[in-house]
Structure 1
Amino acid sequence: MEAIVSAVLSGEATSEDFAGLRIPESYRGMVVRKEEADLFEGSPSADKDPRKSLHLDDVPVPEVGPGEALVAVMASSVNYNTVWSAIFEPLPTFRFLERYGKLSPQAKRHDLPYHIIGSDLTGVVLRTGPGVNAWQPGDEVVAHCLSVELESSDGHNDTMLDPEQRIWGFETNFGGLAEIALVKSNQLMPKPDHLSWEEAAAPGLVNSTAYRQLVSRNGAGMKQGDNVLIWGASGGLGSYATQFALAGGANPICVVSSEQKADICRAMGAEAIIDRTAEHYKFWKDEHHQDPREWKRFGKRIRELTGGEDVDIAFEHPGRETFGASVYVTRKGGTIVTCASTSGYNHEYDNRYLWMSLKRIIGSHFANYREAWEANRLIVKGKIHPTLSKVYSLEETGQAAYDVHRNLHQGKVGVLCLAPKEGLGVRDHEKRAQHVDAINRFREPGI
């Protein structure tokens, strides 16, 4: 492993040099163990501690199959699916691996008594399997997390509709929170050369997800002038939605939970901000009943910020806690676009405000390769920036997941894998200098 790291850090190793490196028999990966799948049984979600279930184990290097690539992982990041994997919700991910393992002999490799998790990476290609022509050993890459088989016609218009669509590192094994990862070659994209390893690893999943959900025709199809309600606007997903809205000429209405997070939104350029904690919004009277009066109060506050207009798009991901309010405040003919449900999967809303006002609910899940590529292209061009706030070592992944689980973070949190320290991997210092303030926006003192 030392030889691999030395070659990467040199910045001078050729493709032939990387192809000649010996691949180790094993590597360190952050895993959950099948034998511990009932570790938190009977405990409320809030009490489940990822630090108890995540282990840094030595695991065998998988064989590289057709259409695949083995990548030396310099850095990764924590997403909410890292938390779900670690607390075994909504179900243990080993069920995903078992199901995938039945698909083919190649997929059977993923069905193991341990699951190497993580759905982001940036690093360097070490090996490619048969049939891979676009990528070579030594290429510096990021990976998006869509894994597809594309043997069905259903996926050839939009690969997200492939019946065998999975999220790598969550529904497949050999994920990015490790020193080495196995990906399909059509997950790879160019690493932005003005970013460090940890910065380049941060956007992946959330940037692509926000792009499809908000910008793509498969999502809300945002246009100039739209009022866009963004929940958790300084968080891992919302911070990219806020940037897309601002870059696309829309007006984000940013909902946050503290003045500190409001300051981050202002730093991104947003003006319409609602601190839901300071303004004491409580959309549920109790566990079983919502409070429509709070929906109305929330809608009134939005109109105060927009000059009397309702929102065209509600960018939803909290789920149960906020969904009723989102449906209510969206304008007649508007769109509620939803992914994830971090506060609960069972959404409740008053259907009168949907059907009689001709609103639409659109489900959005990650992104296809083209959408992910376009989202990454905006990072490469310096139009959209990482929202990295803090970086952990691979050994500290449990703590990183704990912090995300309890919403103690801002933006995205990164994880150094093979990179020995922060700040490495920048190739274009001139471009970086043009955007350095935006790159470091989430890491400024006091934020």
Structure 2
Amino acid sequence: MNEILDAILASTQSDHGSPALGPADFAALPVPESYRAVTVHKDEAEMFAGLTTKEKDPRKSLHVDEVPVPELGPGEALVAVMASSVNYNSVWTSIFEPLPTFAFLERYGKLSPLAKRHDLPYHIIGSDLAGVVLRTGPGVNLWKPGDEVVAHCLSVELESADGHSDTMLDPEQRIWGFETNFGGLAELALVKSNQLMPKPDHLTWEEAAAPGLVNSTAYRQLVSSNGAQMKQGDNVLIWGASGGLGSYATQFALAGGATPICVVSSPRKAEICRAMGAEAIIDRSAEDYRFWKDEHTQDPREWKRFGKRIRELTGGEDVDIVFEHPGRETFGASVYVTRKGGTIVTCASTSGYTHEYDNRYLWMSLKRIVGSHFANYREAWEANRLIAKGRIHPTLSKVYPLEETGQATYDVHRNVHQGKVGVLCLAPQEGLGVRDPELRAKHLDAINLFRDAA
């Protein structure tokens, strides 16, 4: 592994332009028999039995193990991972909710002899990476050893016609590192070649690894024709606007000529939204919104108070789009405050999967609820292109070494983080991997915004 790292450092520390080492040099590097990876163990899937979600501690369930390198199959690539990041699916995996991910691996393993590789007594997690291609399998032509890449997390088989207009509709669509094995929180990762995208030249490894899942998810959810189709002038209500998903939704709204109404939970998070350029901000903790009277009963008076506050910030207008991901806690309010004919687009349920809302406010006002899950390759590519052009920026706030991934995941689980939390995998330190310092200099304040806030 040291030889691989030395080659990557030698290449990326050369003058920006042609790498010091070429494809043949990287192809000649020996691949070790094993590597370090962050895992959960199948025999520990019941370790948190009887505890509430909040009581479950990722630091106890996540391990850094030495694991064997998987067999490389057709259409696949083995990538040396310089950096990765923590997403909320890492939290779900670490606390074995809503079910242990080994059920996903078992189901995938039944698909084919090659897929059987994924059904193991350990699960290597992580749905983001930035790194360097080491090997490619048969049938891979676009990518070669030595290419500096990031990976999006859509894994598809595309043997069914259903997936050929939108790959997210493939019946065998999975999220890599969550519903498949060999994820990105590791020194090596196994991906399909159609997950790869060019690493943005002006970013460090850890910065480049941060946007992948959340940036692509926000792009499809807000911008794409498969999502809310946001347009100039729209009012967009964004829950958790300084968080991993919301921070990209806020940027897309601002870049696209819409007005974000940012909902946050502290003055500190409100300041981050202002620094991004947002002006309409609601601190739900300070204004003490309580959408539920108790565990079973919502409070429509709070929906109305919330809607009134939104209109105060928008000059009397309701929101055209609600960017939903908290789920149960907020969904009733989201449906209520959306304007007639507006759209609630949801991609997650971090506060609970069972949503309740008053259907009168949906059907009689011709509102739409749109489900949006990650992004197809084209959408992920476009979202990454905006990062590479410096139009959208990473929201990285803190970086941990691979050995402390449990703590990084704990931070996200307890919502004590801002933006995204990164993890160094092979990279020995932060700040490496920049090939375009001129573009970086133009956007340095925006790149560091969440770092400075932290």
Whether the TM-score (by the shorter chain) exceeds 0.5 is yes
Corresponding residue for residue 408 of structure 1: 416
Instruction: Quote the offset at 1:13 in angstroms.
Output: 1.8
1:239-263 C-alpha deviation (Å, 9 max, x unpaired): 0000000000000000000000000
What SS does the corresponding residue of 1:109 show, helix, strand or coil?
helix
Distance 1:4 1:296 in 2: 59
Corresponding residue for residue 17 of structure 2: none
1:276-295 C-alpha deviation (Å, 9 max, x unpaired): 00000010000000000000
Letter in 2 for 1:131: G
Q: Is residue 2:226 matched to residue 1:218? A: yes
Letter in 2 for 1:67: G
- Aligned to 2:36, which of 23, 28, 33? 28
Give unmatched runs, 5+ long, in structure 1.
Answer: none
Q: Is residue 2:405 matched to residue 1:387? A: no
Distance 1:65 1:442 in 2: 39
Q: Is residue 2:96 matched to residue 1:88? A: yes
- 1:234-273 superposed matches below 5 A: 234-273=242-281
Letter in 1 for 2:89: N
Q: Is residue 2:341 matched to residue 1:333? A: yes
Instruction: Quote the offset at 1:15 in angstroms.
Output: 1.0
Instruction: Quote the offset at 1:41 in angstroms.
Output: 1.1
Distance 1:41 1:104 in 2: 33
Distance 2:307 2:31 in 1: 58
Distance 1:425 1:205 in 2: 20
1:392-447 C-alpha deviation (Å, 9 max, x unpaired): 00000000000100000000000000000000000000110011000000011x54
- 1:429-440 superposed matches below 5 A: 429-440=437-448
Tell which deviates more after alignment, 7-16 or 316-325: 7-16
What SS does the corresponding residue of 1:285 show, helix, strand or coil?
strand
Q: Is residue 2:175 matched to residue 1:167? A: yes
1:180-200 C-alpha deviation (Å, 9 max, x unpaired): 000000000000000000000
What SS does the corresponding residue of 1:327 show, helix, strand or coil?
helix
Q: Tell me the number of residue pairs that the alignment of Structure 1 and Structure 2 aligns.
A: 446
Q: Is residue 2:302 matched to residue 1:294? A: yes
Corresponding residue for residue 4 of structure 1: 4
Corresponding residue for residue 14 of structure 2: none
- Aligned to 1:15, which of 13, 18, 23? 23
Q: Is residue 2:125 matched to residue 1:117? A: yes
Distance 1:263 1:3 in 2: 44
Give unmatched runs, 5+ long, in structure 2.
Answer: 12-19
Distance 1:349 1:71 in 2: 45
Distance 1:3 1:425 in 2: 17
Corresponding residue for residue 47 of structure 1: 55
1:132-188 C-alpha deviation (Å, 9 max, x unpaired): 000000000000000000000000000000000000000000000000000000000
What SS does the corresponding residue of 1:183 show, helix, strand or coil?
strand
Distance 2:202 2:75 in 1: 28
Provide the alpha-carbon RMSD of the alignment.
0.4
Distance 1:339 1:287 in 2: 23
Moved segments of 4+, more than 6 Å: none
Letter in 1 for 2:95: I
Letter in 2 for 1:319: G
1:198-241 C-alpha deviation (Å, 9 max, x unpaired): 00000000000000000000000000000000000000000000
What SS does the corresponding residue of 1:127 show, helix, strand or coil?
strand
Distance 2:398 2:24 in 1: 35
- Aligned to 1:356, which of 364, 388, 393? 364
Distance 2:341 2:50 in 1: 43
1:10-54 C-alpha deviation (Å, 9 max, x unpaired): 122211110000000000000000000111111110000000000
Q: Is residue 2:72 matched to residue 1:97? A: no
Corresponding residue for residue 76 of structure 1: 84
Q: Is residue 2:219 matched to residue 1:228? A: no
What SS does the corresponding residue of 1:3 show, helix, strand or coil?
helix
1:338-368 C-alpha deviation (Å, 9 max, x unpaired): 0110000000000000000000000000000
Corresponding residue for residue 422 of structure 1: 430
Distance 1:281 1:112 in 2: 45
Letter in 1 for 2:150: V
Corresponding residue for residue 184 of structure 2: 176
Corresponding residue for residue 133 of structure 1: 141
Distance 1:428 1:337 in 2: 36
- 1:303-322 superposed matches below 5 A: 303-322=311-330
State the identity %: 84
Corresponding residue for residue 185 of structure 1: 193
Distance 2:283 2:38 in 1: 36
What SS does the corresponding residue of 1:51 show, helix, strand or coil?
helix
Corresponding residue for residue 372 of structure 1: 380
What SS does the corresponding residue of 2:292 show, helix, strand or coil?
coil
1:279-335 C-alpha deviation (Å, 9 max, x unpaired): 000100000000000000000000000000000000000000000000000000000
1:92-129 C-alpha deviation (Å, 9 max, x unpaired): 00000000000000100000000000000000000000
